[in-house]
Amino acid sequence: MNHDKYGHDFEDGERNGWENDVGSLDGVLKTEETAEGSNTFWSGKLEWRPPYIFQPSLAKMFTLPGGEQEKGSLFTSFRYRVHPPEPGEATETAIVVTANVSLGYSAFPIDRGTPTGKWLQSNRIGVRYSGSRAHVLIGTDFGDALSRKVDIDDITVVRVPDSK
């Protein structure tokens, strides 16, 4: 089985293809000092706006080596840190990972029990691709308010083509 791993940790101060999308046009790279040294990460909002339920905050287009006929999955994981809610921000929302929300997506909740100010690890979330161009979108699709501030770091995307 052929696996391609695409690591993206922002440590070089570059976005490595991860761009802000309509759910967080003001997302920025930030650097903070830790006991292990400096850490650079993306910081922005997960935002949704009715009637367009899903709003991607981070997006990346991949050029894959497999050719136009290849199909498979991209498994995405990352570290995330939720900020304490500011007045008017959502206390309940979800982080959504998808390639095309109308074809399906996976999500995990952010709620009152989610630790704030602490880096957490997401599960691996798979999205389907077909052909040599694929994208991964990270955003949200609901909340008890319109947005919540989060930090995202150490994004890993693993390409797993279907068996032939």
Residue 133 belongs to domain with CATH number: 2.60.120.200
pLDDT in tens, 113-141: 999 999 999 999 999 999 998 999 999 98
pLDDT in tens, 2-42: 445 676 778 788 888 899 999 898 999 999 998 988 999 99
- Mean pLDDT value across the chain: 90
Total domains present in the chain: 1
pLDDT at 99 over 50: yes
Which class for 164: exposed (0-12), middle (13-18), buried (19 or more C-beta within 10 A)? exposed
What per-residue confidence (pLDDT) applies to 1?
Answer: 35
**pTM for this one?**
0.91
Q: Which domain holds residue 118?
A: 4-161
